[in-house]
Amino acid sequence: MSQLFERVARPKATMETPGAFLGGLRVMAIDGTVLDVPDSQNNALVFGYPSSRPGTRAAFPKVRLVMLIEAGTHLIVDGNDSVLTALVNGYERKNCCAQFYKGCC
């Protein structure tokens, strides 16, 4: 699935697409969301649980997604499921988000 996404996920707007360009530059947005995944040992190891009150645990592990979106078409053109985790664990923001900037402009 990821290989298919990498092959087809590209900005598709033209200069005539309403809201797609401003001053000759493509308008992009960064957005994020959190999704529940089934509660299994593997998912818990890979994605982890969100923080909760002391002595409790969230019901499901969470996938934290950050997406680069073309504003004029609302197409997701890039994404990362580890950016938020990496930022929390102390990695530099510029290294984690570098893939979002390649080929956008």
pLDDT for residue 5: 78
pLDDT for residue 81: 64
Q: Give dist(CA 98, CA 82) in Å, integer.
A: 13
pLDDT for residue 28: 92
pLDDT for residue 104: 44
Q: Give me the tens of pLDDT residue by residue for the chain, a chain 105 residues long.
A: 678 877 888 899 999 999 999 999 999 998 888 888 899 998 888 888 888 888 888 889 888 888 889 999 999 888 776 544 444 444 334 444 444 445 444
pLDDT for residue 82: 56
DSSP state string for 63-105: EEEEEEEETTTTEEEEEESSHHHHHHTT--HHHHTHHHHTT--
Q: Give dist(CA 101, CA 93) in Å, integer.
A: 12
By the 8 A CB rule, do 34 and 63 touch?
Answer: yes
